Amino acid sequence: MALRELPDKTLKYVHGTMMDWFGVDLTDDQIIEIGKSDRNLFADLQDDCFDTVARENFGDAMTRYVLGTGHRWPTYGDGSAAADKFHAEFERAARSKGVKLVR
């Protein structure tokens, strides 16, 4: 099922990158569902492209998948209070969506 939609190499790379960068342990099906939420992103993933832009777009799509539209992963410029609030909200929502956290 999942392996026919995206190359195995891409699924493994996306999985490892999301664990390293965001501390989330996504299943293959979650990666595909998140990828499909953005047509251009999914086309990149199907082409086995997960460069800087695709990684950032996937991070944004993952955040929307967990928290809904209007949310984005915080940056350093947002400040530590905003980041702490975001991470608490993200953690609660991720667990309710069945997204495993590794941090």
- Tens-place pLDDT, residues 52-87: 999 999 999 999 999 999 998 898 899 999 999 999
pLDDT score, position 79: 93
Does residue 19 sit within a domain?
Answer: yes
DSSP-based three-state secondary structure for 72: coil
Q: Which domain holds residue 76?
A: 6-96
Does residue 90 sit within a domain?
Answer: yes
Sorted by sequence, the CB contacts under 8 Å of residue 14 that are 6+ apart come out as 26, 31, 35, 45, 50, 58
Does residue 1 sit within a domain?
Answer: no
Does residue 66 sit within a domain?
Answer: yes
Quote the number of domains for the chain: 1
pLDDT average, residue stretch 87-100 = 95
Does residue 56 sit within a domain?
Answer: yes
pLDDT score, position 67: 97
Helix (H) or strand (E) holding 24: strand 24-25
The amino acid sitting at 72 is R
Does residue 17 sit within a domain?
Answer: yes
Rg, C-alpha atoms of the chain: 13
Confidence of residue 4 (pLDDT cuts 50, 70, 90): low
pLDDT score, position 46: 94
Does residue 81 sit within a domain?
Answer: yes
Nearest to 65, CA basis, from 103, 93, 27: 93
Does residue 76 sit within a domain?
Answer: yes
Crossing angle of the two packed helices 28-36 and 39-46, in degrees rounded to 10? 130
Nearest to 31, CA basis, from 70, 5, 67: 5
Tokens 């493994």 belong to which residue?
Answer: 12
Q: pTM of this prediction?
A: 0.89
